[in-house]
Amino acid sequence: MSASALFEERAAGAHRIGIATLNAPATLNGLSLEMVDALSARLDAWAADAGIALVLLRGAGEKAFCAGGDLHALYAGMREAGVGGGARVDPLAISAARGFFEREYRLDYRIHAYPKPILCWGQGIVMGGGIGLMAGASHRVVTETSRLAMPEIGIGLFPDVGGTWMLARAPGATGRFLALTGASIDAADAIHAGFADHAVAGARYEELLDALAATQWHADAGVNAARLDALLRDFALEGLAPGPLQRLRAQIDASCAGHSLDAAVAAIAETACDDPWWQRAQAALDRGCPSSIRLSWEIQRRASRLSLAEIFRLELIAALACAAHGDFFEGIRALLIDKDKAPRWNPATLADTAGDFIETFFTAPWPVGGHPLADLGEDDPQREALR
C-alpha cells in the first residue's frame, strides 16, 4: 500500500526544493486525515530547515491537484455518532468530523502563514479541500486544464477551508455567486477572481522543475519569492481567453450585489441567459441545500470584519454544526453512498432557514476559551510580503 503523500527534495545550488505530492490519483487526490497529518509534519520540518528554499505542492496524476476532502470517512464518522437517526447529536460527539476539520483547518492556516514560498501546482480539478491547500500558497499556479470550485451547497456544507476569506475578497459579487452556485471556473477566471497568481502550460511542468533546480536561491524568503515570481512570469501561458466569470460579470454583480439573500437567489434564477455555464449555475442553486445556501451567504456577510484566524475559528464552529444537523450527512448519502442524487433537505425551503435557525450554526459547542483553534494568530499572517 503506497503512502497517501510523497515527499522528496531536489538540489538547487546551495539549497534544496521540497516537493510534496498528494498521492491518491484514483480518488482525484481526495484529502484524507492521513494526508493532512503527513503534510503538516513535513511542512513543519521544512520550515525549520535552512537548506530548504521553497516548497512545491502538487497532486499525483494529471486529472486533479485535489478534488476535496475524504467524504466517505466523514460520512462513516457521522453515522457512528448517530447523525441521520432523527435525534439531536452533540457536535462534539462526532469525533471524526472534529478531528478532520480541526487538523485540516490548522494545516490550511499554516500554509497561509508559511515562512517560505510555497508553489502550488493547481493542475486539473481543484475543489473543496484542494482549494483550502491552494488558497494560502504564496505562488498559486493554474494550467489550461484547471477547474476550480467550491461546490459545497450540493452536499449540505458551505465553502469552508478558508474559502470564506477568499470568496469575500473576490471582485464585485463574484464570491457570493460562486458560493451560492458552486460554479467552476477556469484558469483565466481563477486569476481574475484572485484564486491563482500565474498560468503555466501543464506540459511544461518538468521544464519548470528543472528551472527551479537551476535557480540560485537565497537565505532570505522575500528574495526567493521575488525570484520565483520572475521565473513563473517567464513561463506564463499566453492567450488565455476570459472565462464566463468575466464574460457574465455584469449579470453576476446585478444579481448578487445587494444585501438580501432571497433577492439574490431570485435574481439568479430569473436571469435569462443562453450561456451553458450560467444555466448550470442556476440548476445547481435550485437543487442546492437550503441551509447551506443561507449559511454560505451569512458567513460571507460576517467575514469582512474578521481576521483570517477568526474566520477559520468561525468556519470550524459552522462545519461541526453542519455535521451534527444532518444535511451534510444526507448530501453525502445522496451523492456518494446511495448515489440517487435525490437528497431530502431539512429544512426543505430557503424561507425556513432564516432567523433563529441559521444562528444555531454560529453557536460554539465549547466552553468559553475552549476553541481548539484558539491558538491561531490573532492577526492575519503577513503573507503578502511573499506574493
Q: What is the CATH number of the domain that holds 301?
A: 3.90.226.10
Q: Are 293 and 180 in contact (CB under 8 A)?
A: yes
Amino acid, single-letter form, for residue 379:
D
Q: How far is CA 154 from CA 25, 96, 150, 192, 335, in A?
A: 23, 21, 10, 25, 9
Burial group, residue 258, by CB count within 10 angstroms (0-12, 13-18, 19+): middle
Closest CA to 126 of 187, 66, 182: 66
- For the chain, where are the E strands, in sequence order? 5-12, 15-22, 52-59, 64-66, 118-122, 125-127, 139-142, 147-149, 198-199
Q: Which residues of 53-75 are buried (b: 16+ CB within 10 A; e: fewer)?
A: bbbbbbbbbeebbbbbbbbebbb
- Cell 492521513 identifies what position? 34
Which range marks the domain in which residue 348 is found? 5-386
CA atoms within 13 A on the CB side of 219: 1
Show the cell assigned to 2: 503506497
26 Cβ contact list (under 8 Å, min separation 6): none
CA–CA distance, 187 with 338 (Å, rounded to integer) = 33
Cα dihedral sign, 177-183-184-189:
negative
CA–CA distance, 351 with 200 (Å, rounded to integer) = 44
Amino acid, single-letter form, for residue 227:
R
Runs of H (alpha helix) within 248-343: 249-256, 261-270, 276-287, 290-303, 308-325, 327-332
pLDDT value for 53? 98
Show the cell assigned to 209: 522543475
pLDDT value for 382? 47
Q: Are 198 and 236 in contact (CB under 8 A)?
A: yes
- pTM strictly above 0.85: yes
CA–CA distance, 198 with 234 (Å, rounded to integer) = 10
Domain total of the chain: 1
Task: For the chain, give percent helix, strand, coil, nearest 5.
Answer: 50, 15, 35
- Cell 424561507 identifies what position? 351
Q: Could you report the average pLDDT of every consecutive run of 10 residues in the chain (387 residues)? A: 89 97 96 97 98 98 96 96 88 96 98 97 98 98 98 97 95 97 98 98 98 97 97 95 97 93 96 96 97 96 91 97 96 96 96 91 92 81 57
Q: Are 372 and 366 in contact (CB under 8 A)?
A: yes
